[in-house]
Structure 1
Amino acid sequence: MTASTLLQEIEKYIPIVGDINIKSPLAYQATRGAVEVVNTVQMAVAEAYINGLEVPDSVLESFFDTCMPIFFQYFPSLLAPYEWVLKETDHLAEGSQQLMKIQYDLPQAMLNTMLGDGKLIYPKYSMGLWEKGALNLEQSQMHMIDDVIEKLDIKDGDNILDFGCGWACVPNYILSKFPNVKFTGLNLSHAQCEYIRHKMQDPESYLSSHRFTLYEGDLNNANFETKFHKILSIGVFEHVGNLTRAFKKLASFLKDDGKVLIHIITVRIPNNMSSVYTHKYIFPHGRYWNYDAVPSHQEDLKTIKKWYLNGSNYSKTITNWLQNFDDNQATIKTLNYGMDYAKFRRIWRFYLIWFIRNFASCDGEYNGNGQFLMVHA
């Protein structure tokens, strides 16, 4: 028996430490009890802040900087607040309409201001790539999409599906690079689709070139007349509860020699991760899959290459979002959020500050982004 195997065997019987998925029944129940305590403390801190407790940003940052390295390195099981976070759920996606309402159907003016809304780079709610020398948020998003183009080996003439296309920033940018590429965007958010339809009527947008098709609906019900050379999905699988079924569906859309690139927030800890705070206020039923989760679901698609993108990239991206959010309060505070704006602002700032520190924690080596290049199994 090797030292690592021996350590794993010992950890089965010790609550909290290491991988919760391998615990003995008694250690598992003790760990779940500890998780409930962490959940309670987390929500007590968050709710106090949301309801008006004056806490300087520096104090919040110090709180996260102290807690997260300990959780990531020693007690990752405490980062799985619910049992459903640890494994696939029965449904492909849970609470998707609730997610749209809370996160993606917010006032467009607020999202444009925070995320950026340029002539080529539309709002993009995912990581920008900074490690190649980007000087600003827009350039970081261009570098990120260029990186995807290279890894997915996109060629002029490809017919591409973007699963969960957001505001169609990625298709618009890629269409600008390749005059013969065709794109289909699949999107569940009606508000985002309305934004895209407006761009499809704008002669300055590449979405108006008749090389872009929009499909409003979810993956379960989607069907297409032709198969695609390439499929990409950026920042969607955090909201997908069943990887096996999702990959089966995507494989059915893919040509025999086609390729799929999945880009997700991921964690390099033994188990998947979520939080009671983000589940309630930000990403209902969202989870951050363990870095090995995608390659372990090989029934219909298999991973042929994978990359880990250091969390510093996302930390810097969110830092820019927070700066944009704070710098434009005069406009943002006038919009309708369906609640008192002071409360919304605190909900949002708590989330952004937390994630800035999360992705920066441990030099970005535990919480970052994973990219997975897949083909037919």
Structure 2
Amino acid sequence: MPKTTTNHYLSAHPAPPDTLASLLAGAGITINGNAPWDIQVYEESVYRDVLTKGSLGLGQAFIEGRWGCNRLDEFFHRVMRADLDEKMGGTARLKLLAEIIRHTLFNLQAPHRAYQVAQQHYDIGNDVFEAMLDSSMSYSCGYWQHAQTLEEAQRHKLDMICQKLDLQPGDRVLEIGCGWGGLAKHMTQHYGVQVLGITVSVEQQALARERCAGLPVDIQLKDYRELHGQFDKIVSVGMFEHVGQKNYETYFATAQRLLKDNGLFLLHTIGNHKTALHTDAWIDRYIFPNGKLPSASEITGAIEEKFLIEDWHNFGPDYDRTLMAWWDKFNRAWPELQFKYDESFYRMWKYYLMCCAGYFRARQGQLWQLVLSKRQSNRVYRSIRPQPVS
């Protein structure tokens, strides 16, 4: 834990407004209580910010050290399980409505905005991600059914994807959102395929090219809407969350155009438990600008008449465990990282990982892998659920 730059931890706790105290009590949380998930408020301004800005104000106040919590993941689990975000009133509710209007009126993921998320998040520094992730640098949910470690969970996930795609030697594979090249490397080394991977991150492209050097892998800095050609298989892991509802039709139409008639398309994405017309304001501001988590109905509506669903696999609870493993690695690496990043970054990153863990633990968040095919396909598909790896 970095040294604090304030004396809030020694100050008296200001009294909370009855409205907030009552809301949190409904989730089993006591302000300035003794349970590990109870929040400790050090400045009265926290209450004002939460009441006027909602989740954005809560997160900003945490980054600034104005409140704390011993088990932030459990705090968020309880808040989201009780759907407190839907019960906020006053100015915070108006802010939420403003976010809904913004997402409704504007295409926040238009081509000219495609690279913003990379500039703000994925390009912050490869050292953070190398410290936090497994050796494959998989920045997506691991598959823990037969795994004991993060390394195993991510390796099992990569191989499960390859098996679900029925990869064959010589297949030409498109990876939409290739990250740092972990899946591309795995597919070529173990299944003898050729891969075109695209990313909107300069830092990811550079490291992915380095990690895949000498392999039949081409990593390009490109938006998916710019793609041409034909591919035997298409895979997209953890990228669909940046597409946006206004672009779902274009995204799936592009994949349909690029996939050979007998091919397979695997989509790996976070899914929301219901259709939401906005993104959490704090996540949008600090972590993933312009992001939008799809619901099941939004996906099915967008793929209708384009693809058939061969398989739909949900292992959302595995993301909770993945996020906590990432936090453990990041926290242990902080003594080295702190020479480049400040305390505010540490608190922001902790808040990000812990609120996401709570989101999946509360079952608001799902993790879906869909295997899609064209109606023209003549293959008979059998769903894959890997057995334990010896």
When the two structures are superposed, what TM-score results if normalisation uses the length of structure 1? Answer: 0.77
Q: Displacement of 1:93 after TM fit?
A: 5.4
1:252-302 Cα distance to aligned partner (Å, 9 max, x none): 211121111111000122435620000000000111100222121136622
280-289 or 107-116, which moves further after superposition?
Answer: 107-116
Identify the match of residue 368 of structure 1 among 366, 369, 380. 366
Asked whether 1:355 is paired with 2:356, we answer yes
- Contact 1:94/1:285, CA 8 A, preserved across alignment: no
Cα distance between partner residues in 1 of 2:83 and 2:311 = 25
Q: Displacement of 1:373 after TM fit?
A: 1.8
Asked whether 1:152 is paired with 2:171, we answer no
271-280 or 284-293, which moves further after superposition?
Answer: 271-280
Q: Tell me what 2:228 maps to.
A: 223
- Contact 1:318/1:355, CA 8 A, preserved across alignment: yes
Cα distance between partner residues in 1 of 2:50 and 2:68 = 22
Residues 90/256 of structure 1: CA separation in 2 closer, same or farther (3 Å cut) = farther
1:135-176 Cα distance to aligned partner (Å, 9 max, x none): 111110111112212222222221110011001111111222
Aligned-partner SS, 2:271: strand
Q: Tell me what 2:78 maps to.
A: 66
Q: Tell me what 1:199 maps to.
A: 211
Unaligned runs of 5+ in 2: 1-48, 376-390
Q: Tell me what 1:189 maps to.
A: 201
- Contact 1:86/1:271, CA 8 A, preserved across alignment: no
Q: Which amino acid aligns with 1:297?
A: A
Identify the match of residue 178 of structure 1 among 174, 191, 200. 191
Residues 273/290 of structure 1: CA separation in 2 closer, same or farther (3 Å cut) = farther
Q: Which amino acid aligns with 2:307?
A: K
Residues 91/152 of structure 1: CA separation in 2 closer, same or farther (3 Å cut) = same
Q: Tell me what 2:68 maps to.
A: 55
Q: Once superposed, what is the RMSD of the aligned Cα atoms?
A: 2.7
Cα distance between partner residues in 2 of 1:169 and 1:273 = 31
Q: Displacement of 1:193 after TM fit?
A: 0.7
Q: Tell me what 2:125 maps to.
A: 107
Q: Which amino acid aligns with 1:164?
A: G
Aligned-partner SS, 1:134: coil
1:78-97 Cα distance to aligned partner (Å, 9 max, x none): 88842355699485557332
Q: Tell me what 1:9 maps to.
A: none
- Contact 2:236/2:266, CA 8 A, preserved across alignment: yes
Residues 37/244 of structure 1: CA separation in 2 closer, same or farther (3 Å cut) = farther
When the two structures are superposed, what TM-score results if normalisation uses the length of structure 2? Answer: 0.75
Q: Tell me what 1:290 maps to.
A: 295
- Contact 1:92/1:243, CA 8 A, preserved across alignment: no
Asked whether 1:305 is paired with 2:310, we answer yes
Q: Displacement of 1:307 after TM fit?
A: 2.2
Cα distance between partner residues in 1 of 2:84 and 2:295 = 12
- Contact 2:309/2:372, CA 8 A, preserved across alignment: yes
- Contact 2:180/2:207, CA 8 A, preserved across alignment: yes
Cα distance between partner residues in 2 of 1:86 and 1:115 = 34
Aligned-partner SS, 1:198: helix
Aligned-partner SS, 1:374: strand
Asked whether 1:326 is paired with 2:331, we answer yes
Q: Tell me what 1:23 maps to.
A: none
- Contact 1:93/1:239, CA 8 A, preserved across alignment: no
1:324-359 Cα distance to aligned partner (Å, 9 max, x none): 111011211122x5xxx1111111111111111111
- Contact 1:267/1:368, CA 8 A, preserved across alignment: yes
Q: Which amino acid aligns with 2:121?
A: Q
Aligned-partner SS, 2:367: strand
- Contact 2:316/2:368, CA 8 A, preserved across alignment: no
Cα distance between partner residues in 2 of 1:73 and 1:44 = 13
Cα distance between partner residues in 2 of 1:127 and 1:216 = 24
Q: Which amino acid aligns with 1:50?
A: I
36-45 or 160-169, which moves further after superposition?
Answer: 36-45
Equivalent pairs, count: 318
Aligned-partner SS, 1:274: coil
Cα distance between partner residues in 2 of 1:41 and 1:376 = 43
Cα distance between partner residues in 2 of 1:325 and 1:163 = 27
Aligned-partner SS, 1:57: coil
Aligned-partner SS, 1:165: coil
Cα distance between partner residues in 1 of 2:324 and 2:178 = 23
1:228-307 alignment to 2 at 5 Å? 228-241=231-244, 242-271=247-276, 274-298=279-303, 301-307=306-312
